[in-house]
């Protein structure tokens, strides 16, 4: 028996992720939800799942639909949350790196203010 291999590709420019579940020619693409499309082979087997946002989620109802309607094996569905978590983690890290890069390019300016007011006392 061979193990299923899942490959995750992230496109930071388009802000999407593709989870490849199998190899073959894509016969059609189905709009599964507003954030998820599915690539099917000529026999209706799922080749890949595309997440149109890097924060898409696969709730239990969607998981059940993938299993019943598209016959995605449960062991593959068990791995998808980890793949989505990796995508979300990558997205958070990328956002942190972007912020750090932007902040390092900006010049820093400051204003010095006296901390105490000096007064003359008359004697």
Higher pLDDT, 22 or 118: 22
pTM: 0.63
Least confident of 30-34, 38-42, 53-57, 101-105: 101-105
> 1 is written with which tokens?
């028996």
Mean pLDDT, all residues of the chain: 76
74-105 and 60-70 helices cross at what angle (nearest 10)?
130
Spell out the residues 6+ positions from residue 48 whose beta carbon is closer than 8 angstroms to its own.
Answer: 18, 19, 20, 21, 22, 26, 38, 39
pLDDT above 90: percentage of residues in the chain: 12
Question: In whole angstroms, how large is the CA radius of gyration of the chain?
Answer: 25
Give the model confidence (pLDDT) of 27-40 as tens digits.
999 998 898 899 99
User: CA-CA distance, 11 to 34, in Å (whole number)?
Assistant: 18
Q: What is the total residue count of the chain? A: 123
């Amino acid at each position: 028996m061979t193990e299923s291999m899942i490959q995750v590709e992230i496109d930071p420019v388009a802000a999407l992720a593709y989870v490849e579940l199998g190899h073959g020619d894509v016969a059609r693409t189905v709009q599964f939800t507003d954030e998820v499309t599915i690539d099917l082979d000529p026999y209706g087997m799922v080749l890949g799942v595309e997440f149109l946002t890097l924060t898409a989620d696969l709730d239990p109802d969607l998981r059940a639909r993938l299993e019943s309607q598209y016959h995605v094996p449960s062991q593959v569905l068990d791995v998808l949350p980890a793949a989505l978590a990796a995508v979300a983690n990558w997205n958070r890290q990328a956002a942190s790196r972007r912020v750090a890069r932007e902040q390092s390019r900006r010049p820093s300016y400051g204003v010095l203010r006296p901390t105490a007011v000096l007064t003359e006392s008359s004697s």
